[in-house]
């Protein structure tokens, strides 16, 4: 092969590699925006409320803390009937979200996204969000972990389990969660490792949805510009360093 043709082949191969890499990455990401200033609930309010649910949440040493509720009436899935999830005032469609979380022994909570407030408040409990949930859990002590791997820490709750590469830090230590959600493709990361991914338009997701508790709500899995939510499941949980950046597919 002539030197000219060799150079041409190298250029073509390089362009093909770059093109493939571009397909695997979002085309444009915005600047990181903090969703928590470390000192106030600015930018947050309760689901179905104009303010933060009194007695449920406090700012504590640079964290948002969900204060344990004690013995309260709960729904069949353990969610408090009079609980109070909190959500971002703003909504997001395609984004990357990162934050740190820690739980008390035996605690349960979640990070929800793609949340429609209207859909959430249209069915009881009215202050609990309906949306995709990055599960936060003490896998060793909370009984929900015994109901299947898709209810353990890092899971897409009741839909997709995390992989065997998942590693949580000891209870009482902060873990890092990362959620990427772009045009119906989602990823959950835990402590720097991608533990699951899903596609809303796939047969695999359709099967998982049909077997989930969300099956009676067809619009649940619609992609929308939705709120980010921190779940009140009645237990002590802490969140900090909450940041988001929007992605242009």
Q: Could you read off the pLDDT of 88-135 as tens digits, one per residue?
A: 999 999 999 999 999 999 999 999 999 999 999 998 888 999 999 999
Q: Quote the distance between the C-alpha of residue 27 and its chain's center.
A: 22
Sketch the domain layout of the chain as residue ranges: 29-248
Q: Could you read off the pLDDT of 47-74 as tens digits, one per residue?
A: 999 999 988 999 999 999 999 987 666 6
Mean pLDDT of the chain: 89
The secondary structure of 47-81 as a DSSP string is TTSSSPPTTTEEEETTEEEEPP--S--B-TTS-BT
Pairing of strands 33-34, 237-248: antiparallel
Position 64 scores a pLDDT of: 98
Question: For residue 62, what are the contacts with CB-CB under 8 A and spacing of at least 6?
Answer: 38, 39, 240
pTM of the shown model: 0.87
Give the CATH number of domain 29-248; options: 3.10.580.10, 2.40.50.100, 2.60.120.560, 1.10.3720.10.
2.60.120.560
């Amino acid at each position: 092969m002539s030197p000219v043709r060799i150079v041409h082949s190298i250029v073509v191969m390089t362009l093909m590699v770059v093109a493939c890499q571009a397909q695997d990455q979002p085309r444009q990401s915005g600047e990181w925006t903090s969703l928590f200033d470390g000192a106030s609930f600015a930018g947050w309010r309760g689901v179905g409320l104009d303010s933060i649910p009194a007695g449920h949440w406090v700012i504590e040493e640079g964290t948002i803390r969900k204060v344990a509720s004690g013995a309260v009436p709960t729904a069949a899935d353990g969610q408090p009937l009079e609980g109070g999830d909190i959500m971002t005032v703003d909504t997001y469609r395609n984004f990357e979200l990162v934050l740190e979380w820690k739980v008390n022994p035996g605690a349960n909570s979640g990070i929800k996204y793609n949340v429609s407030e209207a859909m959430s408040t249209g069915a009881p409990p009215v202050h609990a969000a309906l949306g995709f949930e990055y599960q936060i859990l003490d896998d060793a002590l909370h009984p929900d972990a015994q109901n299947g791997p898709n209810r353990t820490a890092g899971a897409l709750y009741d839909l997709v389990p995390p992989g065997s590469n998942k590693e949580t830090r000891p209870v009482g230590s902060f873990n890092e969660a990362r959620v990427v959600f772009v045009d119906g493709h989602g990823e959950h990361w835990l402590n720097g490792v991608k533990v699951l991914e899903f596609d809303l338009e796939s047969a695999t997701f359709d099967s998982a949805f049909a077997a989930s508790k969300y099956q009676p709500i067809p619009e649940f899995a619609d992609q929308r510009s939705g709120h980010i939510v921190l779940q009140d499941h009645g237990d002590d949980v802490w969140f900090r360093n909450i940041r988001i950046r929007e992605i242009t597919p």
